[in-house]
Structure 1
Amino acid sequence: MQSDIANHIWETKYRYYLDGNPVDTAISDTWQRVALAAAQAETESIELWQQRFYELLKDFRFLPGGRILAGAGTDKDVTLFNCFVMGTIEDSMDGIFDALKEAAITMQQGGGVGYDFSTLRPRGFVAHHRGTVASGPVSFMRIWDAMCATVLSTGARRGAMMATLRCDHPDIEEFIHAKQQSGALTHFNLSVLVTDTFMEAVSNDDDWPLIFPLEDPAAGTADLLAEWPGYEQPVPCKIVRRINAQKLWQQIMRGTYAYAEPGVLFYDRINRENNLAYRETIAATNPCGEIPLPPYGACNLGSLNLTCYVQDPFSSRAQIDMARLQADARLAVRFLDNVIDISRFPLARHQAYESGSRRIGLGITGLADTLMMLGLAYASDTGRAQAEAILQHLCHSAYAASIELAREKTPFPFFQADDYLRSPFIRRLPDKLQQQIRQYGIRNSHLVAIAPTGTISLFARNVSSGIEPVYDLSASRRVLNHDGEFNQFTIEDDAWRQWRQQHPDQPTPDYFQTALQIAPRDHLKMQAQLQPHVDNAISKTINVPQDYPFEEFVDLYRLAYESGLKGCTTYRPNPVTGAILSSDDIQSTHHCCSIEREAD
């Protein structure tokens, strides 16, 4: 029995209509449509694969990204991919507006986009050849934001974008403050690209140079050579000015403490851990941060619903059916790999790069509900250990499946065994898997990502989203309609609903922890414990109480860096963005985890 909100989501986001008339008469028709579409990538036994995919989908065990559910097997001119990073923005008017056009085309087809704006000259720079004065990257971001506001992405969804800027760009302070007024850059999430060198400078209380490449190295004296987006080799740069590193770090922290923006991406770790570091440099992510991508990179997502693998929930015998989880992970990898071959792409460059890397992002949802069904607290050592065991099994099963696909269908074209096997992530895999990769190759360069999954989790009986704790056991949630208006629903967490049905006269156990009952450090510990088993990244919001001391807040980001995370996003209620959810109402927010913004 589907809830009202689940039916509403299906009808407004995933149900297939042709000329205004419904083609999918029931949710089972949607599963069949999607299963058949994915099976079309097979060269034989198409009916068999359709049936296997249907069995995986029909009980909400596997939840493909919303673009797949909405577009697979239809006549819509849309992409099935959730996540894109666009090309390097050339620092010229032609280059800027060519990039803007590419973003509009991509969002029109349903993709969220990420951009690194570090290539654009800082405010006040004089162009050597034309003598014009640059207005800086933030000014052009406003043009992107206005474009996004006018482009309604496929279905009941507004476009979402990620903007990044290097911590050594001269306009970094303007970037930090860019969203500190209500209504500013509302379609962007912002993240600062933080380097290891900068974190060291913060620790040492050193001065920090803000730099930019010389437009014409022959026309001036370079202060240093530095890596910079858009250049294959270190480029001569000018030090525009210096700022105390600790002062700049405090500005970043004050901004995200007060306004939930900007987030932080640990640039060097992202690139160091990248399985394709031998051929690409990453400087941006998709809008919610779980997929770091190179220029014109793309990725499609899907999540296993962990609540479906709990046997004997809320009893002393409760356990995870790991064998079934591993088998489903293998099948889900094949499904997502097939999506690459059946999807349209907004741009030929996206298709070319994705065809070369065959990145996918298999993740999980319902983790918090699953732990409660097992009688474990989210903020406990045993809860985190159980979550890590699940992720480790999923990761190793996904890699084993991709190796088998490589044996059957060939490895991804960018695969180079020696270089790939030098990746720190690959070196952490079991020796058997590493040996098989050397012998057979692997079908997909990356396999695991944890997305926020808010919409598809609501669709699947309102299980907890991604690896997030339950925000509230009962809440109001509003969902965007095709006409731009909202419908509001009262919802109950699935695990709590099941508990009350089984134990109508008993008090709620202590392990039913909600997000604001969990200490921020325990949020961070869960993300850190899972990160070693995720080759892409994790979308996770660390909920921070409004009265949380600033000094402890800053310490969270230090711990995030020291714990090996690729990025960190916190959320503390504030006057500009309001609250993500409330038990009585939903306030206006454009935070990355609002239901209209997320990747699914």
Structure 2
Amino acid sequence: MNNTQTRWIWEQPICEEIFRQKYCLYGEQSAEEVFTGVASEIASAETTEEKRRHWEGVFYQELISGRLQPAGRILANARPGSPMKNYNNCFTIDIEDSLEGIYEALKDDATISKMGGGVGFDISKLRPIGAKLSNGGESSGVISFLRIFDQSAKTIMTGGQRRSAHIALLDISHPEIEEFITAKKGEQNKELTQFNISVKITDDFIKAVKEDADWNLVWKGRTFKTVKAKHLYDLLAKNAFIHNEPGIFNADTVERYNNGWWAFKMDRVNPCGELVMPAYSLCCLSSVNLASFVAKPFSADASFDFAAFERTCGIGIRFLDNVLDATDYPLERIKTFSRDWRRVGLGFTGLGDVFAMMGMKYGEEASLVLAEQIAKTLRDASYSASSDLAAEKGSFPAFDAEKYLQANFIKTLDPELREKIRTQGMRNVQLNTVAPTGTTSLSMGQNCSSGIEPIFALSFKRTIRTGRGDETRTEEVSDYAWKLWKSLNGKENEPMENIVVPEAFVTTLDINPYQSIDMQAVFQKYIDHSISKTLNLPLGTSFEEYKNLFMYAYEKGLKGFTTFNPEGSMKGILEYSGKKEEGVHRRVAPARPRDLPCEIHRVAGGKRKYVVIPGFLNGTLYEIFVLDDTDGKIGIDDDRKALVRKAAKGRYDLVFVNGSEETVLEDFTSAFNSPDASLARFISMALRHGTPLQFIISQLQKDTNFTDVERCIARVLKTYIRDGEEVITSDRECPECGELLSFRDGCVSCFSCGYSKCT
């Protein structure tokens, strides 16, 4: 898209339909009219007529080109004559621990909802259920009051268009935390449907989990109960695994990177989780469409235009800073706080499409390198533009140069940029985020991939509200980059089954969840707020694997962590094309790196002896090798650290590691016995495609001619069934010791304890 675009062209009917439904609210007949109104209204905050005319033209070009995508409330409401002057998506409030404080907060919440804003708050101040009241009674607890806010949100239609989104946070040490964690069970109880809920996790709590220590549930200095930290961790993980909530808010990580550390705590978040902030703050949001900056997509010469991206980022910061002056505020306290600190959130969308257009797989090393370049450019361009705005218009009123420069995040900036801030000041306290951008990415972005997410699917069905109550319909829609690739290659009308899809087109369920977290961690390093990202779990993810992901996200420095389990109790608004009510889920296995850590088991079964070597990808079983060592010629110990290295196609080396030294057993799989090798390959295929261990073991046990090798493999695999996973029992287990029985000639026997029985 060029710098002088004057006409907007819709790529798909659904993009136009959604745009008209959501944003053509004041008689506009085209996208151009909407963008003209938005540009004029936001430029009106400039100080002179000359500047207003100039920046109106600049803003319009960024909008009509699709490079800058304002958040929904700006697109919907920002017009010179609009009766709804709220241009901010979400707000935060406080709730004091008194009946008066609760109902004052309820009034504030209703006022914000009426103006079209979502609301976030921390309910940790509220006394737990059963705690004494000043009048001698007992508190009904935090959840009872949340239900009141939930009912209010269901009643009020924001701006006559939608119901308000909410999020509530509760500290992990609050005495009602167990009830809070399990309050929402998706379709099972349909509780708190207008709320997202998240738990505030601390470093001390994670330390207690790792040490299996006790954890006190405390309110105002009184310990109500003591539990094991692991109990809370498992309870939190289990409810999130099954019902997709609560999310995680890593409170200490958030506070470490608070640019206003000397004046307030960032102890709450907006409903989608991308902005961490104090009470009485707001979300002033826009995104830059990264797909607009890819030159020569899908070619060997594809490149990302960093200079143009940097320019748009600078314009985006000025645009958002103007929004703060052009908008109305629902509460005077929010107006005062927001203008004192001038918090904004410029982010991006289309990242997944960029990788496909550049020939990279989302999550692979090349994509992480490009991601870091994009993230750093966004950060540096934003901070530089805000400092220039400070020189022109003045710093945010609460700015204190010495204290600001002591903030941990500011210390990560390049020295030249820090010196610029010292000299010129800063217009905005914090600047960057990554919002989910669902509707704007679908409409303005021509269905580009949303925010930081990978491509959801090459084509999918989307559930759309018709505008008649809760009535919905579904419609097929194609990803922007996929549609562009088909157009460039003359495949527009080609049936999907006839198309060889380029490897770079990986989608949500193709991506290893650890790589997904790695991508978020790369951006979080450069994003001063948080990132809204939902990790879509691969089909077949076990509970034990899920708990590992929880801890991995914390250790990688994420400020928040939210997941969606497609096999859980809640449905999303997006569904893959071809998905049936009944049928088999297909999952693409994550790519195998060159080296995988492995464990070595020496196992005896009947008259034979085997070496069984399972390999692990990010702590999860990925493959298995089986060597017959009945003659004792394979000299592999079972207590040494080792790696399985893929040396070439069909060739694997076993690498023993001792400090910095390596000993290599080359092409160790050449020792495979052919039938055993085939069985190991099929088991490996099942493992890497996510088949739960219980089912693999069960299938091994079902063979009426249960062989020694099957028995040995099953015994090894059985040791990796984790807590939280159901163990499938079978009549093929020994009633004496529980080991697997061998079946031959109508008799069963156990080689471990000697049990036998013939029929």
- State TM-score, norm by structure 2: 0.72
Is the CA contact 1:182–1:576 (under 8 Å) kept in the aligned structure 2? no
1-side partners of 2:559 and 2:86: how far apart? 27
Match of 1:256 among 240, 246, 263: 240
Residue type of the alignment partner of 1:544: L
Q: Deviations over 1:45-72 (max 9, x none)?
A: 2111100100011021100001001111
Aligned-partner SS, 2:575: coil
For the pair 1:478 / 2:484, whether they are aligned, the reply is no
Match of 2:549 among 547, 556, 565: 556
Aligned residue in 1 for 2:437: 453
Aligned-partner SS, 1:424: coil
Aligned residue in 1 for 2:211: 204
Match of 1:337 among 321, 332, 345: 321
Q: Deviations over 1:255-275 (max 9, x none)?
A: 111111001111011111111
1-side partners of 2:25 and 2:565: how far apart? 38
Residue type of the alignment partner of 2:57: Q
- Report the more deviating stretch, 148-157 or 496-505: 148-157
Is there any run of 5+ residues in structure 1 with no aligned partner, and where? 214-236, 588-600
For the pair 1:172 / 2:177, whether they are aligned, the reply is yes
Aligned-partner SS, 1:488: strand
Aligned residue in 1 for 2:86: 79
For the pair 1:520 / 2:529, whether they are aligned, the reply is no
Match of 1:294 among 260, 278, 294: 278
Match of 2:22 among 5, 13, 25: 13
2-side partners of 1:586 and 1:183: how far apart? 24
Is the CA contact 1:299–1:354 (under 8 Å) kept in the aligned structure 2? no
Is the CA contact 1:457–1:464 (under 8 Å) kept in the aligned structure 2? yes
Post-superposition offset of 1:155: 5.7
1-side partners of 2:405 and 2:108: how far apart? 34
Is the CA contact 1:16–1:30 (under 8 Å) kept in the aligned structure 2? no
- Report the more deviating stretch, 474-483 or 540-549: 474-483
Residue type of the alignment partner of 1:486: T
Map residues 189-588 of structure 1 onto 2, 5 A cutoff. Answer: 189-213=196-220, 237-459=221-443, 460-484=445-469, 485-504=471-490, 507-584=500-577
Post-superposition offset of 1:480: 2.5
Post-superposition offset of 1:355: 0.3
Q: Deviations over 1:96-132 (max 9, x none)?
A: 11111111110111111101111111001111x2011
Is the CA contact 1:157–1:480 (under 8 Å) kept in the aligned structure 2? no
Aligned-partner SS, 2:574: coil
1-side partners of 2:270 and 2:136: how far apart? 35
Post-superposition offset of 1:574: 4.1
Is the CA contact 1:212–1:240 (under 8 Å) kept in the aligned structure 2? yes
Q: Deviations over 1:8-47 (max 9, x none)?
A: 2222211132xxxx1x221101001000011101112211
Residue type of the alignment partner of 1:173: E
Post-superposition offset of 1:157: 2.8
2-side partners of 1:454 and 1:6: how far apart? 12
Q: Deviations over 1:168-226 (max 9, x none)?
A: 0000000000001331111111100001111111111110010011xxxxxxxxxxxxx
2-side partners of 1:123 and 1:518: how far apart? 42
Post-superposition offset of 1:586: 9.8
Aligned-partner SS, 2:284: strand
Residue type of the alignment partner of 2:452: I
Match of 2:143 among 133, 138, 160: 138
Residue type of the alignment partner of 2:36: Q
Is the CA contact 1:276–1:445 (under 8 Å) kept in the aligned structure 2? yes
> Aligned pair count?
558
1-side partners of 2:554 and 2:289: how far apart? 29
Is the CA contact 2:244–2:568 (under 8 Å) kept in the aligned structure 1? no
Aligned-partner SS, 1:114: strand
Aligned residue in 2 for 1:148: 153
Map residues 110-129 of structure 1 onto 2, 5 A cutoff. Answer: 110-127=116-133, 129=134
Is the CA contact 2:463–2:574 (under 8 Å) kept in the aligned structure 1? no
Aligned residue in 2 for 1:590: none
Q: Deviations over 1:420-452 (max 9, x none)?
A: 111111000110110111111100001100000
Aligned residue in 2 for 1:597: none
Post-superposition offset of 1:585: 8.5
Aligned residue in 1 for 2:111: 105
Bigger Rg, which one = 2
RMSD across aligned positions (CA): 1.5
Identity of aligned residues (%): 39
Residue type of the alignment partner of 2:393: K
Q: Deviations over 1:379-408 (max 9, x none)?
A: 201011111111111110010000000000
Is the CA contact 1:161–1:188 (under 8 Å) kept in the aligned structure 2? yes
Post-superposition offset of 1:419: 1.0
2-side partners of 1:531 and 1:334: how far apart? 23
1-side partners of 2:556 and 2:180: how far apart? 26
Match of 2:38 among 15, 23, 34: 34
Aligned-partner SS, 1:141: helix
Post-superposition offset of 1:479: 2.5
1-side partners of 2:212 and 2:301: how far apart? 54
Residue type of the alignment partner of 2:42: A
Is the CA contact 2:355–2:367 (under 8 Å) kept in the aligned structure 1? yes
Post-superposition offset of 1:297: 1.0
Aligned-partner SS, 1:211: strand
Post-superposition offset of 1:93: 1.5
Aligned residue in 2 for 1:68: 74
Is there any run of 5+ residues in structure 2 with no aligned partner, and where? 1-8, 492-498, 581-759
Is the CA contact 2:509–2:539 (under 8 Å) kept in the aligned structure 1? no
Is the CA contact 1:395–1:448 (under 8 Å) kept in the aligned structure 2? yes
Aligned-partner SS, 1:554: helix
2-side partners of 1:120 and 1:438: how far apart? 41
1-side partners of 2:116 and 2:481: how far apart? 32
Post-superposition offset of 1:7: 1.8
Post-superposition offset of 1:580: 4.7
Post-superposition offset of 1:560: 1.1
Q: Relative CO higher for 1 or 2, CA cutoff 8 Å, sep ≥ 6? A: 1
Is the CA contact 1:259–1:576 (under 8 Å) kept in the aligned structure 2? yes
Residue type of the alignment partner of 1:6: C
Is the CA contact 1:330–1:397 (under 8 Å) kept in the aligned structure 2? yes
Aligned residue in 1 for 2:654: none
1-side partners of 2:347 and 2:540: how far apart? 33
- Report the more deviating stretch, 130-139 or 1-10: 1-10
Aligned-partner SS, 1:41: coil
2-side partners of 1:101 and 1:576: how far apart? 33
1-side partners of 2:420 and 2:466: how far apart? 48
**Deviating runs (4+, > 3 A) in structure 1?**
584-587
Post-superposition offset of 1:470: 1.1
2-side partners of 1:586 and 1:284: how far apart? 37
2-side partners of 1:585 and 1:66: how far apart? 31
1-side partners of 2:520 and 2:104: how far apart? 37
2-side partners of 1:108 and 1:9: how far apart? 22
Is the CA contact 1:148–1:187 (under 8 Å) kept in the aligned structure 2? yes
Is the CA contact 2:92–2:268 (under 8 Å) kept in the aligned structure 1? yes
Residue type of the alignment partner of 1:193: K
Is the CA contact 2:534–2:563 (under 8 Å) kept in the aligned structure 1? yes
